Amino acid sequence: MGESVDRDRTDRARAPRIVDVACLADVSKATAARALSGSDLVTEATRLKVLQAAESLNYRMNGLARAMSAGRSRTIGLVIADISNSFFDRATRAIIDTAARHDYQVLVINTDDDLRAEVQAVRVLSEKRVDGIIVVPSSPDTFDHLFVGGKPVSPLVLLDRRMPNVPVGTVTTDDYSSAVEAVRLFASRGHSRMGMLVNSADSHEASANGANGAVSTIHDRVSGFTKGLKEYGLPFEPAWIGYTPHVHDDAVRAAKQILSLDPRPTAILTTNADAALAVIDACNEMHLAIGEEVSLISFDDSPWARVFRPAITVVDRPVYELGEAAVKALLVQIDSGDMHARSVEMQNHLIDRESVRYIGPPIAPSLFPSR
């Protein structure tokens, strides 16, 4: 008698399963599952009988189980380079928001721009059977971990960075043209000595052709900067380009080294907001006034850039739209099964605020650009 009571209590405490629904509706487990998932393979009468049984048992079909039975987990993976960076922080928010609107969850793994961590992240996400992966690649030319048998490990989109000659869809911005435009703004206000602070996970060789061995965003920004100098016949000075890792104190030291040169540049372009903060800190320590003794343009807008005095001129990139586009491109691959590379390049917007000073007459483009 006691055993029977305990068994009844256990049965009442246990959440109802699909087999219970099937028994009550007097159908097979497979038929009950098809009826609850909305399949056209069951009659309306059978569907109604199964739904009534499920309702009487207070049965709720597990969303993950339903998705897996359809061959999907309703999750996507995001391999992000540096979640503490304001650009990637906002891009991550956009990806999570957009995925949620399409009934997907996002598994986020941060790599700190470390290739080994990226390889591990892709492996873990593949093992978790995510439906697709968005990757911010940490290397411009190492991609074996993204392919199996010559095909992507899953539906795959690269965010913010390209990998030349790799057949994968990308969502990026036209940073090359934006860097050229920044140089033009400096030149229009009389600046002929221009420097650059490059925030990069690794040190790279500065050359008139760009940043050798760097990820595409860094290469494009340095290449656009040097192209702008050539356009105005201005000299390329490697000492005026500083490379710094993602450590604020190191970036401040690199900025101070540039600003201690004689002659020093009167204008600085930075590759992101973190590098801009380093230039501001360096100028504070050296008693140099931003917008007076040092003009500044930064890639990526941020709330502090608008309220700083003087307000910082920025290359504003459509961060949220990039995240949205990456998710939508990935879902096209997931839904169609076609992983053909489709790439999107968005335009940036130079916001001219108060940090670029007029120091002389505009410099005209050179009839004989420097080589």
CATH class of residue range 75-172+319-346 = alpha beta
Q: Where, residue-wise, is CATH 3.40.50.2300 in the chain?
A: 75-172+319-346, 175-318
Contact indicator for 211, 163 with CB cutoff of 8 Å: no
pLDDT score of 203 more than 70:
no
Residues of the chain with CATH 1.10.260.40: 2-61
SS3 166: coil
Higher pLDDT, 325 or 57: 325
**pTM across the whole model:** 0.79
Q: Measuring CA to CA, how many Å separate 40 from each of 43, 159, 250, 260?
A: 8, 39, 63, 74
Q: What is the dihedral of CA 185, 188, 194, 199, to 10 degrees?
A: 0
What CATH topology corresponds to 175-318? Rossmann fold (3.40.50)
CATH code, residues 2-61: 1.10.260.40
Percentage above 90 pLDDT, the chain: 62
Q: Give residue 16's pLDDT band: very low, low, confident or very high (50, 70, 90).
A: confident
CB contact at 8 A, 315 and 328 = no
256-299 per-position pLDDT tens digit: 999 999 999 999 999 999 999 999 999 999 999 999 999 999 99
Whether the Cβ atoms of residue 38 and residue 70 lie closer than 8 Å to each other: no
Helix axes 86-101, 319-336, angle to 10 degrees: 40
Mean pLDDT confidence for 133-156: 91
Residue-by-residue DSSP string for 6-56: HHHHHHHHSPP-HHHHHHHHTS-HHHHHHHHTT-TTS-HHHHHHHHHHHHH
